[in-house]
Amino acid sequence: MTKNDEIQSVKELLTKYLEEKKYRKTPERYAILEEIYKLNDHFDIDSLYNIFKEKNFSVSKATIYNTLELLLDAGLVRKHQFGKVQAFYEKGFFNKNHDHIIMIDDFQIIEFCDPRIEQIKKDFEEAMGVEILSHSLYLYARKKEKN
Partner DNA sequence: CTCAATGCAAATCATTTGCACACCC
Partner DNA sequence: GGGTGTGCAAATGATTTGCATTGAG
Interface contacts to DNA, rule CB under 7 A: 18, 23-29, 44-46, 58-63, 65-67, 69, 85-87
**Cβ nearer to DNA, comparing 8 with 63:** 63
To 10 degrees, the CA torsion angle through 63, 6, 118, 72? 10
Residue 100 · residue 138 · CB < 8 Å: yes
Instruction: Tell me, by CB under 8 A, how many residues bind its own copies.
Output: 36
For 19-26, which contacts have Cβ atoms below 8 Å and span 24 or more sequence positions?
Answer: 23/70
Gap between the Cα atoms of 83 and 91, Å rounded: 20
Chosen residue from 3, 25, 38, 84 binding its own copies by CB under 8 A:
84
- Binding residue (CB under 8 A) for its own copies from 50, 81, 95, 97: 81
For the segment 35-74, give every residue that binds its own copies (CB under 8 A): none
DSSP line for 5-36: HHHHHHHHHHHHHHHHHT----HHHHHHHHHH
Q: How far is the CB of 29 from its own copies (least distance, A)?
A: 22
Burial category of 91 from C-beta neighbours within 10 Å (exposed 0-12, middle 13-18, buried 19 and up): buried
Question: Is 121 near its own copies (CB under 8 A)?
Answer: yes
Q: Which does 60 bind (CB under 5 to 8 A by kind): its own copies, DNA, none?
A: DNA
**Site residues (vs its own copies, CB under 8 A):** 79, 81-85, 101, 103-104, 110, 112, 114, 116-117, 119-121, 124-125, 128-144
